[in-house]
Structure 1
Amino acid sequence: MSKLRWYWNRVKAYIGRPRLVVQDRPVVLADHPRCEHPLFVIGPHRSGTSLLRRMLNSHPDISCPPESFFIADYARMAQDDEVLAGYLGLGFDAEQARADLERKASELHEALRIARGKRLWADKTPQYVFHLDAIDHLFARRNRYLMIRRHPWDSAFSIAARGWRFNDTPDLLDAALVHVRNSLDAMAAFEAAHPDRCASVEYGALCTDPEAELAPALTALGLEWHPDMLEFGRKKHNFGLEDPVLRGQKEIVPSLGAWRSWSGAVQQRARQLLDPADFGYPVETPEKGQREKLRL
């Protein structure tokens, strides 16, 4: 008898189930004029991205806060079949879902940009170098990208000196070298695929003559150089996880050539993992008696 009641309850539940409701049109609760062409500052860790972002943030038209970190998660969701299925159940097709995720991903940037009276926003998050295609898709291929490069061994030296590790390579310096190499390879591949929306600057040249190095890159991206960018040390900036030393600097203080403290043996090993010549940087032999700061 109890079994019959079990079946009867399910039959009643099926017959009396609520009619499926399909929302045919997504409704956006709030919206405002948005920055149509966000700028992403891309470079390996310890390549000068913090300096560049402070210069951009000092531009009267550009808001460039510290690292956001979360945009790559929205970009991943925009290509996740289960997430898209969830949106579909709420009446959003794939393109509408992407647009909604784009709005959510950029909302905080937009709020800061508007609060500061700026025309466009920029994002500086080094980790995004490995999510460029997904982020580009999230923003419907409207982004612009400003790439920055530094001597790759200087970047690796600085990463290892801070004890940062971004992969499973056992040796700390080796891990840094692999990370920088992979970052530079990802940047080069993306630039080759989207040359019309990418421009690049070199850290050493940026330190030596900022306007000569940066102005042409900005022009290529449809932006203009402004002398306020050199006044970054006198402007107000939000601070995230970037180098705390940089916060107290009122002007450009170049940091170049730390890798020269490596012995010849360390340089030889480093070259096997990351050859600077592959990225346009010559390698000099350390002078005799030079102190080795990082050992094999």
Structure 2
Amino acid sequence: MNTKKGVVILGHPRSGTTLLRRIFNAHPEFASPPETHLLGACARFIDADYTADGVDMGVLSGLNFAGFEDEEVLSRLKELAFGFLDTFAQNHGKRRWAEKTAFDIFCADAIERIFGDSVFYLGIIRHPLDVAVSSVEFCATAGVYPSSMHPYIKRHPRPVEAFAHSWADATKTLMGLGERQGENSLIIRYEDLVEDPADTLEAVFAKLGESFVPDMLEDALERSEILGFSDHKTYGESSIHSSSSGRWQSLPSPLVSDLAPMLNPLLEVCGYDALSHRPISQDRLRRRYLSGLAVQMQKKN
């Protein structure tokens, strides 16, 4: 049982982090604001470049030279974040808080360095190709690739491939965090949450020393709450369901086959079925392409 005041929700964007946040906000003991970007900002505050000699050129070295030890700087950052989140919880009559900002997973190591074991880390994992499909749709709607995605888009011009690689990195980060934090963390799967929310959430809140309140499942999507940065999709839903699972199966089989060698080891660890890896020759792909053109011409005529 873990009774730390704060819970940090982490997962690749489009993995169900917003759903988790809204469920926590519906719990009588937790307040969970829309995305504050607070923890990521704290993480970026200590980001640094390095000289050829390995010296970090950033705020920690700068303040260290000015007489402030690293631990003091990190402690002040933690107090800054806790001050906002504690006040938010108090303003809503709650004892505890849960913080979720979608892209925090990409600076999770720095977040852990600042907050250590003073918070509980709750991770959520979703099938990588469902994440990729949903991420492509989100970016098309928003009209932008968020900055955390830029390195992946540059290396992998096919968007689904780019998001599959970012999922792999995010999942490895989450697993590493879970190993280091041990009992101070828990990782769940999105599919388990939407297919059996009661049992999944009962285990989550038991780990946190709180009771699962069944009414939360209805209240999470129906109650009025503060609007802000968040996944807009959950606001159009009236119940928790699994209809979004498995959408990746409509992806072209050559693309899925290309990604299989990279994803399959992690899929196995996460409890998902392996992807089929059946390379198709270029000759066959070209014939398939021409056949598709012929079909379109017939439809036109």
> Structure 1 length as normaliser, TM-score?
0.76
Deviation at 1:245, TM superposition (A): 2.5
**Structure 2 residue identity aligned to 1:267:** V
Partner of 1:83: 59
Over the aligned positions, Cα root-mean-square deviation in angstroms equals 2.5
8 Å contact from structure 2 (residues 6, 96) kept in 1: yes
Alpha-carbon distance between aligned partners in 2 of 1:79 and 1:181, rounded to the nearest angstrom: 23
2:208 is the alignment partner of 1:221: yes
Larger Rg: 1
8 Å contact from structure 1 (residues 156, 176) kept in 2: yes
Deviation at 1:260, TM superposition (A): 0.8
Alpha-carbon distance between aligned partners in 1 of 2:188 and 2:4, rounded to the nearest angstrom: 23
Partner of 2:121: 145
Closer/same/farther in 2, CA of residues 37 and 246 from structure 1, 3 Å limit: same
Deviations 1:32-75 (A, max 9, x none): xxx95410111111111111111011001111112222322323
8 Å contact from structure 1 (residues 202, 213) kept in 2: no
SS of 1:56's equivalent? helix
The counterpart of 1:239, out of the listed 227, 235, 241, is: 227
* Runs of at least 4 residues off by over 6 Å: none
2:92 is the alignment partner of 1:116: yes
8 Å contact from structure 2 (residues 117, 184) kept in 1: no
Partner of 1:125: 101
Closer/same/farther in 2, CA of residues 241 and 283 from structure 1, 3 Å limit: farther
8 Å contact from structure 2 (residues 9, 17) kept in 1: yes
SS of 2:118's equivalent? coil
8 Å contact from structure 2 (residues 4, 120) kept in 1: no
The counterpart of 1:175, out of the listed 157, 162, 177, is: 162
Closer/same/farther in 2, CA of residues 173 and 105 from structure 1, 3 Å limit: same
Alpha-carbon distance between aligned partners in 2 of 1:266 and 1:155, rounded to the nearest angstrom: 15
8 Å contact from structure 2 (residues 33, 226) kept in 1: yes
Which residues of structure 1 form unaligned runs of 5+? Answer: 1-34, 286-296
**Structure 2 residue identity aligned to 1:251:** S
**Which has the larger displacement, 49-58 or 228-237?**
228-237
Partner of 2:75: 99
> Structure 2 length as normaliser, TM-score?
0.75
Deviation at 1:271, TM superposition (A): 1.3
Of Structure 1 and Structure 2, which has the larger fraction of its residues in helix?
2
Deviations 1:146-198 (A, max 9, x none): 11111121111111233346122222111111111111111111111111111
The counterpart of 1:63, out of the listed 9, 13, 31, is: 31
Alpha-carbon distance between aligned partners in 2 of 1:147 and 1:179, rounded to the nearest angstrom: 16
Matched-pair identity in %: 28
Partner of 1:262: 251
Deviations 1:11-49 (A, max 9, x none): xxxxxxxxxxxxxxxxxxxxxxxx954101111111111
Closer/same/farther in 2, CA of residues 92 and 236 from structure 1, 3 Å limit: farther
Deviations 1:103-128 (A, max 9, x none): 22233322211110111111112322
